[in-house]
């Protein structure tokens, strides 16, 4: 895609990519802020979402923000901009963890299309089917019916069909 002005639809897709990042207990302890003058997305700590007993030093928060930044960089490149990331850009604002500036067209002509796929979450029914399928494989349950779920025949005559 060729970069154009940052419109609301593109901004929503960029934020969706960031929000898709994993976080401890899926708390998503961050907030986004757009500086429209510089086309910069700021990632800020959301203290009210943090887990102060589980993560008292904020390590998991910082790891999660790293995942957010990766997703944002890939999405920004996909939409044709060069992502310029700054970690802890203003020491006087410790809640400002990082910024991603959308700087002109991507330098290398590669727009991250091979990494960027914004997927919608699966439906609850699809998630249940996937969970059941994983559980069956984990416990060796291959399916229902005669002859299934029996151990293989051995040279000693054990297993197999009766």
From the list 45, 50, 107, 60, the residue with the least C-alpha distance to 82 is: 107
Task: Locate the domains of the chain by residue range.
Answer: 8-105
Query: CATH number of the domain at 8-105, please?
Result: 3.40.109.10
Q: What's the pLDDT score for residue 26?
A: 87
Q: How far apart are CA 120 and CA 115, in angstroms?
A: 16
Q: How far apart are CA 151 and CA 158, in angstroms?
A: 8
Q: What's the pLDDT score for residue 106?
A: 75
Q: How far apart are CA 69 and CA 81, in angstroms?
A: 15
Q: SS3 of 49, please?
A: helix
Residues across the chain: 162
* Single pTM value for the model: 0.66
Q: What's the pLDDT score for residue 39?
A: 94
Mean pLDDT, contiguous 10-residue spans, the chain (162 residues): 77 95 91 95 90 87 94 93 94 95 77 54 61 64 51 55 52
Residues 6+ positions from 78 with CB-CB distance below 8 Å:
1, 111, 112, 113, 115, 116
For the packed helices 59-78 and 8-19, what is the interaxial angle rounded to 10 degrees?
140
Q: SS3 of 40, please?
A: strand
Q: What's the pLDDT score for residue 152?
A: 55
In degrees and rounded to multiples of 5, residue 124 shows phi and psi of: -60, -40
């Amino acid at each position: 895609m060729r970069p154009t002005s940052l419109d609301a639809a593109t901004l929503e897709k960029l934020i969706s990519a960031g929000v898709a990042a994993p976080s401890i207990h899926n708390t998503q302890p961050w907030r986004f802020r757009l500086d429209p003058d510089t086309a910069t997305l700021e990632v800020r700590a959301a203290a009210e979402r943090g887990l102060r007993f589980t993560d008292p030093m904020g390590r998991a928060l910082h790891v999660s923000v790293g995942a957010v930044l990766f997703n944002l960089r890939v999405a920004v490149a996909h939409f044709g901009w060069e992502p310029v990331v700054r970690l802890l850009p203003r020491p006087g604002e410790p809640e400002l963890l990082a910024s991603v500036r959308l700087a002109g067209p991507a330098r290398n002509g590669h727009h991250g299309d091979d990494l960027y796929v914004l997927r919608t979450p699966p439906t609850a029914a699809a998630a249940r089917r996937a969970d059941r399928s994983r559980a069956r494989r984990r416990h060796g349950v291959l399916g229902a019916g005669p002859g299934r779920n029996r151990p293989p025949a051995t040279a000693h005559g054990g297993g197999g069909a009766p």
